[in-house]
Amino acid sequence: MKNRNRIIGFLISITLTVLIIVIYLLNGFEWLELQSYDLRFSLRGPRPLSDQIVLVTIDEESLQRLSTTLREFKRSNLARAIEHLASAGTRLIGIDMVLSNPSVTSLDDQLRNALVKAGNVVLVRYISSEMAIPPFSSFRETEMGEGLINVALDQDGVLRSMPVLSVEISEGEMNPYLTFSLEMARLLADPEGKHEIDISISDLIRIGSLAVPVPDNKLLINFYGPPGTFPKIPIWRVINGEFSPDQVSGRVVLIGAHNPTSYDAYRTPFSGGVQKVFKPWGGQADLVRLDRMYGVEIHANALQTILDQRFIQRISPGNVIMALVLLGLAATATVLYVERLLWITMTLGSLVLLILTGGIILFIRNRTWIDLVPLAATVTVNYLGGVAYQRYLEAQQRQKITGLFGRYVSSSVVEQLIKNPSLAGLGGMKQRLTILFTDIRGFTSMSEQMDPQDVTRLLNEYCGEMTRLIFKYGGTLDKFMGDAILAFFGNPIPYPDHALRAIKVGLEMQEAVSRLNQKWVKEGKRPIAVGIGINTGVVTVGNMGSEEFVDYTVIGDEVNLACRLEENADGGQILIGQGTYDEVRDYVEVESFESTLFKGKSNLVSVYKVTGLRKCCL
């Protein structure tokens, strides 16, 4: 039965684990997993930056100083900024603005000349399923490179990755374009364009020595901090030449909108809350709300990720599923083989804590993204399912044990059996026990002279008091046989002092009979006398009977001897056999009774009359 229950438990575990796997494959955990991913960024905190990237921002201050708006921002201003940056020795300039339409010819010519003179400017384009928006052709002729500014938001509206590669089909030709950050990284690593884009290996892009993991054509951005992490210079200062060339010399400069009217701001893993952000060139730290990050800084984070080669790698679904199966089996084995709920809870709670802690540490130290939510859910669900199944089995066991033993033993003994079901040997077994028989002397003739209702009341009161004493000492009430009682001690709870317990019950029974007689005499009733026989030996104990009725009882020669001792005891006497005496000789006072040849015995049996307990046992 135990093996069968465990097999069912494992089947339940497999079912629950398969359910978790199905939910995982259907992205049912993805929203929660994304939140846990963001939490890991918060726990990790900002990372130190190299001085490779500087932002030149078209911010509110710049628009006010230039008396313009973002929509009306003149290309002559952009041209002057590029000229000053090129003169300061900027290594590479990226413009996060789609310069797709022509404007005033003179202004476009000014910008074109600045692009030609700089010779290191990367422009951007946007490609959708319906159309492509490239830079104005006059500018494209002067660009060093061209990248995508497409973004991909996750299901909760947070930007955590960038689509890496997109293909534009023009005049029957396929033209691949890299995301803005990867295009700039390519130009930094291979400015002369000697190496082609290699996508022969799944989920990996190679450009010469540059290798970038791109699972599902996405670059997971290893954000270096909240908005404001990268150093920035307002564009008005660059236009007017009011900046130090050391701020940009030999560095990559990204020019882009840093203004609410640009509608180019997104939530990132660092969104929410506030944090101190230190100004890159000294000054007091500002408290910045970690809300939305402008696109130009997102591209900076993506570029820094590539340049530092500090990529975030998400564990593959195949490995996650393997881990789910192993964790499900481990959780179920714990529930089925560990008996105490406290130990189960502590073990599996520690396992969940280990998963969460390990996942956080791996992310912080190794930039490894493990799907913590489905892993923790597998352990939790299998724990809940296993405990529920265990509670179901315990309820069945409780009902079974209560049904079998509830009328034989006290409620406290029943509880012990429920806690230790192995003690409830339901099948027949040989065991050394102590048997107690009682009988009211002359009760048959006395009852014939009494009203039936009075007989019933007397027996009920007498048997109730005797049962209370049997249960008091952990005895098992076998049966009532008219006015006779059969009880035994040492099963189902294997008390080592079962013989002494039976003696104590016998003595207290005689005292109880005396109290009852005093009460009954005052009520005008006849007193009674009870003979008790006790014997200890090996008997057969267990469930016996027919399919329709089963009785938990004892049988054997030693049971018969206990019955013979009771038959030979006078009212008020307690007779015990040699087996009982051998176990209690140091604790009870006895008188030798004449040895008797009982029916079924070939030799005389030593019999002792119990007179009381020694002082050590009082």
Over residues 586-610, the pLDDT tens digits come to: 999 999 877 776 766 667 888 999 9
DSSP lists the bridge partners of residue 255 as 56, 95
Q: How far is CA 60 from the centre of its chain?
A: 49
Residue 391: per-residue pLDDT: 82
Burial class of residue 161, CB neighbours in 10 A (0-12, 13-18, 19+): buried
* Contacts of residue 73, Cβ cutoff 8 Å, sequence gap at least 6: 58, 63, 66
Percentage of the chain modeled with pLDDT above 90: 57
Rg of the chain, C-alpha, whole Å:
45
pLDDT at 63: 93
How far, CA to CA in Å, does 410 sit from each of 66, 426, 450, 468?
A: 94, 17, 32, 8
Least confident of 61-65, 271-275, 476-480: 271-275
Tens-digit pLDDT profile for residues 114-161: 999 999 999 999 988 778 888 988 999 999 999 999 988 999 999 999
Highest mean pLDDT among 182-196, 442-456, 526-540: 526-540
In contact, 81 and 255? CB cutoff 8 Å: yes
Cβ–Cβ under 8 Å, residues 479 and 436: no
Contact call for residues 222 and 312 (beta carbons, < 8 A)? yes
What's the pLDDT score for residue 220? 95
DSSP assignment letter at 450: S
> For residue 116, what are the contacts with CB-CB under 8 A and spacing of at least 6?
142
Q: What does the block give as tokens for 107?
A: 């202004």
Q: Which of 370-379, 543-552, 609-618 is predicted least confidently?
A: 543-552
Q: What angle do CA 362, 154, 97 make, to 5 degrees?
A: 105
423: confidence class by pLDDT, cuts 50, 70, 90:
low
Across the range 18-40, mean pLDDT stands at 94
3-class DSSP state of 122: strand
* Interatomic CA distance for residues 110 and 142, integer angstroms: 12
pLDDT on residue 311: 95
Specify the pTM: 0.71
* pLDDT score recorded for residue 618: 58
Distance, in Å, from the CA atom of 616 to the CA atom of 605, rounded to the nearest integer, reads: 28
Among candidate residues 510, 566, 489, the one with its CA nearest the CA of residue 534: 566
**Is residue 205 classed as helix, strand or coil in its secondary structure?**
strand
Task: Report whether pLDDT(184) > 60.
Answer: yes
Question: Does 401 have pLDDT greater than 70?
Answer: no
Q: Among 165, 145, 180, which residue's Cα sits nearest to residue 297?
A: 180
d(CA 590, CA 610): 4
Ramachandran angles phi, psi of 51, nearest 5°? -100, 35
SS3 sequence of 404-451 = HHCCCCCHHHHHHHHHCHHHCCCCCEEEEEEEEEEEECCHHHHHHCCC
Q: Which residue is it, tokens 């911010």? A: 59
CA-nearest of 66, 140, 127 to 101 is 140
Q: Which of 405, 356, 359, 308 is nearest to 49 (CA)?
A: 308
Beta bridge partners of 170: 173
> Looking up tokens 């267990």, which residue turns up?
542
Handedness of CA 260, 263, 264, 265 (dihedral sign): positive
464: Cβ contacts below 8 Å, ≥ 6 apart: none
Tell me the CB-side half-sphere exposure of residue 297, using CA atoms within 13 A: 25
At residue 102, the 3 state secondary structure works out as coil
Among the listed ranges 1-5, 466-470, 612-616, which one has the minimum average pLDDT value? Answer: 1-5
Q: How many CA atoms lie within 13 A of 103 on its CB side?
A: 17
Structure tokens at 34: 């994304």
Residue 415 DSSP class: H
Start-end of H helices in 48-179: 60-65, 75-87, 105-118, 137-140
Cα within 13 Å of Cα(420), Cβ side: 9
Q: Which residues fall within 8 angstroms of residue 92, CB to CB, at 6 or more apart?
A: 120, 122, 144, 184, 187, 188, 252, 253
**DSSP summary character for residue 315:** P
Q: Evaluate whether 291 touches 227 at the Cβ level (below 8 Å).
A: yes
Question: Token pair 């799944």 is at which residue?
Answer: 202
Tokens at residue 461, please? 């009161």
Distance, CA of 95 to chain centre: 48
Region 156-184 average pLDDT: 86
Distances (CA, A) of 504 to 436, 443, 498, 530: 11, 24, 10, 15
CA distance 481 to 469: 18
Q: Which residues does 19 contact at the CB level (< 8 Å), separation at least 6?
A: 381
Residue 292 zone, left/alpha/beta (φ > 0; ψ -120 to 50; rest): beta
DSSP run (H or E) holding 566: helix 557-568
pLDDT attached to residue 282: 47
Residues 123, 147, 369, CA angle at the centre, nearest 5°? Answer: 140
Per-residue model confidence (pLDDT) at position 86: 95
